[in-house]
A and B are shown apart, each in its own frame.
Chain A
Amino acid sequence: MIEFSQFTLDNGLQVIVHTDTQVNTFVLNVLYDVGSRDEHPDKTGFAHLFEHLMFGGSKHISAFDEPLQRAGGENNAFTSPDITNYYITIPAQNKETAFWLESDRMLSLSFDPKVLEVQRQVVIEEFKQRYLNQPYGDVWLKLRPLAYTQHGYRWPTIGKEIRHIENATLQDVKDFFYTYYVPSNAYLVLAGNITLEEAKRLSEKWFGPIPGGKKPVRNIPIEPKQTTARFLETSGNVPLDALYKTYPMCGKNDAAYYATDCLSDIVGRGKSSLLYQQLVQEKKYFNSIQAYVMGSIDPGLLVIDGKLNKGVSLSDGDNAIQTLLEDIMTNGIGEKEISKAKNQAESTLVFGEVEILNRAMNLAFAAVTGNPESVNQEAEKIQNITSSEVNSIAKEIFQKENCSTLWYKATNSI
């Protein structure tokens, strides 16, 4: 249970306060309701590049990190297909520094051309380090455009290609900032060692004077229902063949989300899952295999991915997965499997609330999906999952024509 209060400033900024006096630190988390799904198809990777620019100085403060370090604070940020999230953790006595810094960059950036030039290079190296210089690193560059044909989820957050990052201009940066980085498009979570009165006073003082702007209207094409199976074969300098299968599913706000997540756990979370027990343990087809959901706000994907043991063909591995899924669709999943997955989900949830920063992020994410109170409804939603619900979802989701399959072949073996 995460207790919280909420209020909205006159400029439209929504503020959520979670007081925990057991900790000596304070967390300031700002979530902007913009992610890579909002990008133009010819300017992908921009939301993430922009996140880097948020550290390059704001209107009244030439550097973001230095004054924060001087106050004993730490910070970071991340961009996802759905959102961009910034957070500061700081000893409670210096909390006002966090308000000062975070509000100034919400007011305006410095828009220094040198910052853009350097961060463009940094992001290109990040692209290489994470997507090109890792075995299987480019999988999502290939899998996303297979699984999605219209929606902004069809490119990864880092961007479709390095060229888009190379082409970004300072004007793009300004347009993006003034469109999305406005109080009416943001959620501010204040957590840890702070009282509600302090939270009200300091947010009013620092964030209150920022012009509210207009919440941008989201206009992302809806992904049409998949009607035929899709297939792509690719190869790379990797030691083992790998295969990936995606199945369209509902988004995070849908009533069926928790049962679908539960289904993915039963099918492929950990060594107790059906895929591991049957295809790693018994049949010995796979070296590793797992299933999970992407957890996106718009309709998402349930993913199965596995690496094959040497000597097992991709088609044998693929058929074995198909057989297992058909067995689930025909014979159903038993109560025992369901209660196991529910117990795992319940303890994952409770362990996830140990850290104050996680609690703050959970609140922000719940707020952007429409209702901060939903953080405290998850346990109940998990407990309410029924086997008939899980089984009917399995029957619907695992239809062959719903699937996009990627075979990743090893070009050479060691």
Chain B
Amino acid sequence: MSSTILNRAIAPELQAIDRFHLPQVKTVSLLNGVHLHTLAMGQQPVVRLEWGLPAGSVAENKQGAAFFAAKMLTEGTNRYSSVEIQDYFAELGAFIEVTPGTERLLFTLYALDKHIPALVSFVHHLLSESTLPESEFEKLRRIQIQTVEVNLKKTSYIASTHFRSILFGKEHLYGRHLDVNAIQALSIDDIKEVYSTAIQNNVTDIFITGGYSEKSIESIQAFFGTTPTLPSSVRTIPSPVLTSTSLTTVPVEGSVQSSIRIGRPTFAAAHPDYFDASIYTEILGGYFGSRLMQNIREDKGYTYGIHASMVNLQHLGYFVIGTDVKRAHTAATIEEVKKEMKLLRSEPVPSDELQNVQQYLLGSFINSIQTPFAIADKFKSIYFQGLEYQHYQDFFHRIQVITSEDILKIAQTHFQEDDMTMVIAGGMEE
């Protein structure tokens, strides 16, 4: 032990974060063309198994049909009732998540490896022999209507849904949201149509991650690798007509805060400006040390949090700043956001600050690839967007070499504060 007195004013020496290790997912085609993506990792026998199907809302002819088709997958088959299906999963200690998206449907199962073969057989049964009982549909319809009604009491929900419908149009898949009228207009036949055209024998991808055994893989091959999959006519999402408004206010009587959304459509992750725009977003409002967080929360105390992010859609993306503030501070918050955006396109980011955000981003990337499930998610993200693993190498490298001039340029090209669409849900007065 050294006997020198500890000098706490001096920070320990830092070492560069100059590499990362991202284990790669292996993909094989089963006999019927289904893609099986495997990542064997972790010492514990926990497994996540996901089925990808082309049953996103793009596959529906009536709004909401794909959403309910997904939810109906656990509501009844020719052999099991809704209750029995829930019991089957619960008895094996398994958990499921059904995630209906715009492009696709993901059916996710979490279970211990010893139960995977039985569960694979059971999920196969749900995906091929569901009967979609009408009484269960009525139950789900009622629950969903009431869920929407609860959401409509949240300023954050109102602001987000209005923001997207202004950006992409009320009718577009990216801009619309499932409201009570749309839910009421659905019939069981609309749901059956999605089931038969986009779910039954329509699995395109299977992802298995964790500490699984060979037996589990064999069960996947047996149940999902031989039946011919239907030649699915995968629809493409039409390009939205992009619009903007300078400011839309949705009054919410009695709210104690306003929810604010400020942003604009941007581009997909494959776009040459994507990396720089992401780093810009981080500096503006991504991390705790960001300009917006420091100004609006840490200096002024207007809010519990303010955040900027880039949201990836299939062939598109959008940039959005979101916050909930005291009503009386609504106008001042918007002013400050504009000021910060203007500053970022007028003056280069000081090198100290840039270095901070670079190190933070590199570290948080390393931190985000430490569990089997997170590593598989990194793969899913590039796979669904048609990118390669090189994307992460490129991003990591770009973070290391980006300059203040690059940030200034990207701010001037894409982030003019006066081009932003703004939505306020709430009000300006106390």
Instruction: Give A204 to B2 CA distance when docked, in angstroms.
Output: 12
The answer on a CB contact under 8 Å between B90 and A340 is: yes
Nearest CB of chain B from residue A335's CB, rounded to whole Å:
12
The answer on a CB contact under 8 Å between A122 and B303 is: yes
The answer on a CB contact under 8 Å between A272 and B325 is: no
Identify which of residues 199-228 in chain A touch chain B, using a CB-to-CB cut-off of 8 Å.
204-206, 209
Nearest CB of chain A from residue B396's CB, rounded to whole Å:
12
Query: Does B314 make an interface contact (CB < 8 A)?
Result: no
Nearest CB of chain B from residue A39's CB, rounded to whole Å:
21
Query: Does A69 make an interface contact (CB < 8 A)?
Result: yes
Contact A281 to B360, CB < 8 A, known contacts A122-B304, A239-B152, A354-B42? no
The answer on a CB contact under 8 Å between B289 and A65 is: yes
- Interface residues of chain B, those whose CB is within 8 Å of chain A, are 1, 6, 8-9, 11-15, 17, 20-21, 42-46, 74, 82-83, 86-87, 89-95, 110-112, 139, 142-143, 146-147, 149-150, 152-155, 254-257, 287-289, 297-304, 324-326, 355-357, 359-360, 362-364, 366-367, 370-373
Query: Does A196 make an interface contact (CB < 8 A)?
Result: no
Which of A129-137, A169-177, A396-404 binds B? A129-137
Nearest CB of chain A from residue B285's CB, rounded to whole Å:
14
The answer on a CB contact under 8 Å between B44 and A354 is: yes
Question: What 4 A-B pairs have minimum CB-CB distances, sorted nearest first?
Answer: A72-B363, A121-B301, A343-B93, A272-B90
Closest chain A residue to B294, Cβ basis: A65
Instruction: Give A134 to B356 CA distance when docked, in angstroms.
Output: 35
Instruction: Give A103 to B12 CA distance when docked, in angstroms.
Output: 13
Contact of B15 among A94, A288, A339 (CB under 8 A): A94
Instruction: Give A89 to B93 CA distance when docked, in angstroms.
Output: 31
- In this complex, the member of A65, A66, A70, A104 whose beta carbon has the largest number of chain B beta carbons within 10 angstroms is A70
Instruction: Give A288 to B45 CA distance when docked, in angstroms.
Output: 32
Instruction: Give A347 to B142 CA distance when docked, in angstroms.
Output: 32
Query: Does A243 make an interface contact (CB < 8 A)?
Result: no
The answer on a CB contact under 8 Å between B366 and A25 is: yes
Contact pattern, A 119-153, Cβ under 8 Å of B = 1, otherwise 0: 11111011011101111000000000000000000
Contact of B139 among A100, A284, A310, A343 (CB under 8 A): A284
The answer on a CB contact under 8 Å between A351 and B110 is: yes
Contact A66 to B302, CB < 8 A, known contacts A72-B364, A281-B83, A354-B373? no
Residues in A whose Cβ lies below 8 Å from that of B299: 118
Interface residues on chain A, number (Cβ under 8 Å): 81
Query: Does A316 make an interface contact (CB < 8 A)?
Result: no
Contact A128 to B257, CB < 8 A, known contacts A24-B366, A72-B360? yes
* A to B CB contacts below 8 Å, 5 in the list: A22-B43, A25-B366, A123-B304, A240-B150, A354-B44
Contact of A347 among B112, B147, B298, B359 (CB under 8 A): B112
Residues in A whose Cβ lies below 8 Å from that of B43: 22
Identify which of residues 82-108 in chain A touch chain B, using a CB-to-CB cut-off of 8 Å.
89-91, 93-94, 96-97, 99-100, 103-104, 107
Instruction: Give A133 to B288 CA distance when docked, in angstroms.
Output: 23
The answer on a CB contact under 8 Å between A25 and B370 is: yes
Instruction: Give A123 to B143 CA distance when docked, in angstroms.
Output: 34
A-B contact count (CB 8 A): 210
The answer on a CB contact under 8 Å between B153 and A237 is: yes
Residues in B whose Cβ lies below 8 Å from that of A11: none
Contact A344 to B93, CB < 8 A, known contacts A72-B359, A281-B139, A284-B139? yes
Contact of A354 among B324, B366, B371 (CB under 8 A): B371
Instruction: Give A84 to B160 CA distance when docked, in angstroms.
Output: 33
The answer on a CB contact under 8 Å between A239 and B87 is: no
Instruction: Give A44 to B236 CA distance when docked, in angstroms.
Output: 55
Residues in B whose Cβ lies below 8 Å from that of A161: none
Residues in A whose Cβ lies below 8 Å from that of B87: 272, 340
Closest chain A residue to B255, Cβ basis: A133
Identify which of residues 263-298 in chain A touch chain B, using a CB-to-CB cut-off of 8 Å.
270-272, 276-277, 280-281, 284, 287-288
Instruction: Give A61 to B12 CA distance when docked, in angstroms.
Output: 12
Closest chain A residue to B136, Cβ basis: A281
Contact of A355 among B21, B302, B371 (CB under 8 A): B371
Query: Does A309 make an interface contact (CB < 8 A)?
Result: yes
Contact of A59 among B8, B82, B94, B110 (CB under 8 A): B8
The answer on a CB contact under 8 Å between B6 and A205 is: yes
Closest chain A residue to B357, Cβ basis: A69
Query: Does A350 make an interface contact (CB < 8 A)?
Result: yes
Contact A129 to B17, CB < 8 A, known contacts A60-B9, A117-B301? no
- Give me 8 other A-B pairs in contact (C-beta within 8 A), A91-B363, A340-B90, A347-B110 excluded: A71-B359, A94-B15, A118-B301, A120-B301, A121-B302, A125-B326, A129-B257, A347-B112
Contact A346 to B93, CB < 8 A, known contacts A72-B362, A91-B17, A104-B8? yes
Closest chain B residue to A339, Cβ basis: B91
Nearest CB of chain A from residue B165's CB, rounded to whole Å:
19
Query: Does A238 make an interface contact (CB < 8 A)?
Result: yes
Closest chain B residue to A286, Cβ basis: B143
Contact of B150 among A238, A280, A345 (CB under 8 A): A238
The answer on a CB contact under 8 Å between A237 and B143 is: no
